[in-house]
Amino acid sequence: MTAVQTTPPRRLPVRAKAAARDRGWGGVSPMLTRLAEERATGVLVRERGTLHLAGGRVVHAESPASPGLDVLLTARGTLDAGTWRQALTETGDRHRAGHLLVDGGHLAPGALDVCRLVALYDAAYFVLAPSSTPGRFRYVPEDGPGCPCPVPVAAVERETLRRRDLLHRIWPDPATDEAPLVRTHRPASPTPTARQRAVLARLDDVRTAADIARDLGRPAFHTLVDLRRLAAAGVIAPRPPAPAPTSMPPPAPLSVPEVIDPHITLLKRLRDALEAL
């Protein structure tokens, strides 16, 4: 009996976990991953905001759904709003304005760095939300030293995915994230925290999560966490849509009085007389 020696099958490739983590758990935006690999500098414009890149790293993020650095610095008294506006007018750039305020003793370096990172991650969460339209990137040349704390794209993507998962675990319905919000008649149980009470105090059937975050001077994502917990407890809900206007019946046609022509009457009498002969 002849033994047949066969070549063992090749092992299937296994994705390295460390490499996957470095890529941001598979990537939230393929375009952003490619821009990071080529170390691009410019602005990535997406449906819900923009990401500013320098050397393939994120240096700034903006979204209408998220309060900016100025709001986070000035809403709670960390910095006077007039002082911020003056620094921004003198420099024309938010990063240079921050440096000017630190150099002038108006702001501690640590406070600026923390607020800058908080604002970046907060806005990036909304910018990288699933979108129905493709993003576009505009290359720009690097200008000056730029942001002193650029963030790797992989770190931004990992944090974005972590936040998505957290919100889903709290309450899977995202309706409270963007709609005007109302209080229900259900009593809160457990008792709302101080942060949640501050959110509830600003519900007026008109404000959205972004409005409340801006009014409180808090990151928008933190506000979403409070709102989803309140929604899970049945304390708040999206404002119901306004009832459709009832359709009115069409107006009845106007009756027009009949006009009798005397000539026609005379002709009819002649006809009747002739027929009677």
Domain presence at residue 187: yes
List, in order, residues 6 or more apart from 107 with CB less than 8 Å away.
73, 78, 79, 98, 101
HSE, side-chain direction, 13 A CA sphere, residue 202: 20
Compute the distance between CA of residue 110 and CA of residue 38 in angstroms, rounded to an integer. Answer: 31
The conformation of residue 29, written as its DSSP 8-state character, comes to: -
List, in order, residues 6 or more apart from 159 with CB less than 8 Å away.
121, 124, 125
Domain presence at residue 276: no
Question: Which of 169, 199, 215 finishes a domain?
Answer: 169
Whether residue 151 is found in the same domain as residue 187: no
- The number of distinct structural domains making up the chain is 2
pTM of the model as a whole: 0.77
pLDDT tens-digit series, residues 22-44: 444 446 899 999 999 999 999 99
Question: Which of 130, 149, 169 finishes a domain?
Answer: 169
* Per-residue pLDDT at 262: 65
Average pLDDT of the residues of the chain: 83
By three-state DSSP, how is residue 138 classified?
A: strand
pLDDT tens-digit series, residues 92-106: 887 788 888 888 888
Whether residue 182 is found in the same domain as residue 208: yes
Compute the distance between CA of residue 57 and CA of residue 120 in angstroms, rounded to an integer. Answer: 12
- Structural domain including 192 reads 172-238
Domain presence at residue 243: no
215-229 burial code (b ≥16 CB/10 A, e <16): bbebbbbebbbbbbb
